[in-house]
Structure formats: C-alpha cells, structure tokens
C-alpha cells in the first residue's frame, strides 16, 4: 500500500471535518477556503476520498443528495431528517450488540450503519408535525 503523507493541508481538512456536522465535500471546502484560500476544491475532494478509502472517516451515501462525511469512527447511529437533510450522531448502549456482530450467516461484517429516518425539531416546528 502506498504511504500517504500527512501534509498541513490534510491536517487542516481533518480538523475542519472534526468540527463540522456531517458536511458534504463542497460544504467542507467552503469552510476550509474561508481561512485557507490556497486549498483548492479538488484537494478537499481528493483528501476526503483518501480518508474514506483508508477508513479514517465515514462516507455517508444519501440517496438523492451529495455524500456527507463523518469523522466520528466510534460505533454510533444517525438521526437523519428527511426534510432538510440534517444528520446528528446518536449513541446509546442498546445498539452495542448490533455494532459488535463479527460474522452473520457466513458473511464477514466490515461495518454497520444504522440511520433513523426522522424529522428534526426545526422542520417539525415549521411543518407543525407532532408525535
């Protein structure tokens, strides 16, 4: 495997991702570019792809939307708003057995993803959704 250099740009991108809330590559680029205008959009996209391919961050595939990225690698689930696309991490002990599955039905399990498709408080308030 080719050794990846840990450049200043990569560190800046990772630090921005760790402070962000499941951004798209474009959103992360916009945040990074404000304080580091020499970092190009192509660099942000390439670095995020490398991090995801190496298992250092999670790439969240959202149907009908751009992929989002998550720096939290500890086992957790997501609350995902179907109206605005907002994603929040959720961790609770009841999910530990699910994430702990090593092999099932002869399959080698590499990772597990749990998404709770939901409506966030802001969208629920605006749409007057109850329950």
Q: Is 120 annotated as a binding residue?
A: yes
Q: Would you say 123 is a known binding-site residue? A: yes
Burial letters 39-72, b for 16+ CB under 10 A, else e: beeebbeebbeebbeeeebbebeeeeeeebbbbe
Nearest alpha-carbon partner for 28 in 41, 10, 9:
41
Is residue 44 within 8 A of residue 13, CB to CB? The reply is yes
Binding site for Zn(2+): which residues? 81, 84, 120, 123
Binding site for Fe cation: which residues? 96
Binding site: which residues? 81, 84, 96, 120, 123
């Amino acid at each position: 495997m080719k050794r990846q250099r840990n450049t200043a740009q990569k560190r800046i991108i990772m630090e921005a991702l760790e402070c962000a809330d499941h951004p798209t590559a474009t959103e992360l680029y916009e945040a990074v570019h404000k304080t580091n205008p020499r970092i190009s959009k192509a660099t942000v996209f390439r670095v995020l792809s490398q991090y995801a391919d190496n298992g250092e961050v999670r790439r969240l595939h959202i149907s009908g939307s751009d992929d989002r990225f998550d720096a939290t690698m500890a086992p957790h689930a997501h609350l995902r708003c179907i109206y605005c696309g907002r994603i929040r991490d959720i961790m609770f002990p009841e999910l530990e057995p699910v994430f702990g599955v090593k092999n099932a039905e002869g399959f080698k399990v590499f990772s597990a993803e749990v998404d709770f498709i939901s409506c966030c408080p802001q969208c629920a308030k605006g749409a007057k959704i109850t329950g």
